[in-house]
Structure 1
């Protein structure tokens, strides 16, 4: 699958005669990098590519579709929110050293690259520097700055395009035609401009999670629930998503403090709360909270071994403290 905003990059990569031994495809999450990489992997393995696309009918394509291609290895976290371990990378290194069983390329897809712990990243370096035979490694990353410089320098780094708001809204309207366009615009805002994340939010479970967080924040500020109680009830939520929402809200507070700009159209359920917090808190307090949010989000993305409940409780206590400042 190639999304409309990826067409230019696809033309560039699919028409290459000689491929790099390692690619680092990077860009904002939720913009289709994984689907793009899978399509690229299919092309690299295909025995009879047609028009810059995998034929989907040759032996290699059929084996890949069945998940049994002997010359393809995917390296992914074994569990959600867990790192890619050194044993997984050692298995990758052994795979790279072998001869391709179908006589073509060997291909490795590793995602997300920033999920590798330090030992795993160091174990990968030699394979990146001197891959055996006709091997192509495809690494995906939402946060390339978190990779070792030596990892980045051994790959052909390719920024993946981010769609414009118009492209994202057009795509969303095609995927979820039953949804109100205004709600699609709100979901795109909640997802930080990432259309695929916005699509998941527009599903019943995504909207339910969003509603639970919004109502929980209101209950916290009204002293109807404690930070500890909310943290327990939010334990199953996507931590990165929650931190993204709170960071977006903190930005909205700063905009109101500096320019009196309200986000009512995009934050209809939260704009009164954000206006209240903008009046009660100082700009420095909000900026300090933003810095903390970014630091904790990096830990979440880095698959750190976090106590989810304690982290959420700390987040809620810091958020509530904004209202206590006035």
Structure 2
């Protein structure tokens, strides 16, 4: 049921639902995979419910039944037309038209916009007027993984509410209930890949990420031993989501930095411990910092939906990684 928030958000949920008045616009932020969209949906249900009880939508009033059926006339969902695409100005114009209408159920109107960072410049500018001139009993719920990519003027007109990442034990407990077919070691592996975000870990499981990761690590080792070329490896990764691959390289780079500075003795990514341990001893600090700058810049471009040629980007990524050992 969307009215039930994740347990690690209980404190934030209680604080919001117990307020006598609510902000016109909220910006829910946090790591990918901590349940921000689920939280926003639950809060929308609460705001629309005509008889909320104990900080929850009742699930029985006409408003709740309409929402659960997916056809509540006073609830609008704004998202990209296609996964990974931008939210364009036409969608925001529809939002503005919606705001100008009278609530058909006689209560509140709610818009959930996700992911907010997907708005292009024109869309974000079009949204500003609605944020500056709020309509009574209307609530905008923006959800983002990357608040820094939003216009400062958009952020400043929202109440920013960061949703926390659960504790390690809470995340593992949730995963145990969600993917009971996995053993604890497999859940730990997925959670480590997901940076501690349990929903992200569950999504990685759906992608069969453990097996994909084994293949990727094998390819990396073959590349460094000159048994596979960068183009061959890049081609073999054609079905792996780019954001997953980049996250793995970022995690390995963080381990490299920690190993080189002596902050850790063994890589957190145990499947790459030998490779990273060797690289940490043979890569200069200067080159490692330059590599990190390159990686983060290209990660930002990818997250920003830059029109990168996937094959060429992956080849460049792999060649830069391999060249680390030859630049000392």
Partner of 1:269: 271
* TM-score normalised by the chain length of structure 2: 0.93
Measured against aligned partners, the alpha-carbon deviations of 1:245-284 in whole angstroms (never above 9, x if no partner) come to 10110111122211173435x4332111111211221122
SS in 2 for 1:138: strand
Q: Which of 294, 297, 301 in structure 2 is aligned with 1:295?
A: 297
Partner of 1:46: 49
Q: Which of 222, 225, 229 in structure 1 is aligned with 2:228?
A: 225
Whether 2:66 is the aligned partner of 1:63: answer yes
Matched residues in 1 for 2:272 and 2:265: separation?
Answer: 10
Mapping 1:211-290, distance limit 5 Å = 211-259=214-262, 261-263=264-266, 266-290=268-292
Whether 2:320 is the aligned partner of 1:318: answer yes
Gaps of 5+ in 1: none
Matched residues in 2 for 1:260 and 1:29: separation?
Answer: 26
Whether 2:141 is the aligned partner of 1:138: answer yes
* TM-score normalised by the chain length of structure 1: 0.94
- Equivalent residues of 1:115, 1:301 under 8 A apart: no
Q: How many residues are aligned here?
A: 325
- Equivalent residues of 1:280, 1:323 under 8 A apart: yes
SS in 1 for 2:270: coil
- Per-residue deviation at 1:106? 0.9
- Per-residue deviation at 1:2? 1.2
Deviates most, 293-302 or 103-112 = 293-302
Matched residues in 2 for 1:141 and 1:286: separation?
Answer: 30
Partner of 1:117: 120
- Equivalent residues of 1:83, 1:302 under 8 A apart: no
- Equivalent residues of 2:117, 2:144 under 8 A apart: yes
SS in 1 for 2:160: strand
Partner of 1:95: 98
- Per-residue deviation at 1:7? 0.3
- Per-residue deviation at 1:319? 0.8
Partner of 1:147: 150
Measured against aligned partners, the alpha-carbon deviations of 1:223-260 in whole angstroms (never above 9, x if no partner) come to 22221222223233222221111011011112221117
- Equivalent residues of 1:280, 1:325 under 8 A apart: no
SS in 2 for 1:241: helix
- Equivalent residues of 1:188, 1:195 under 8 A apart: yes
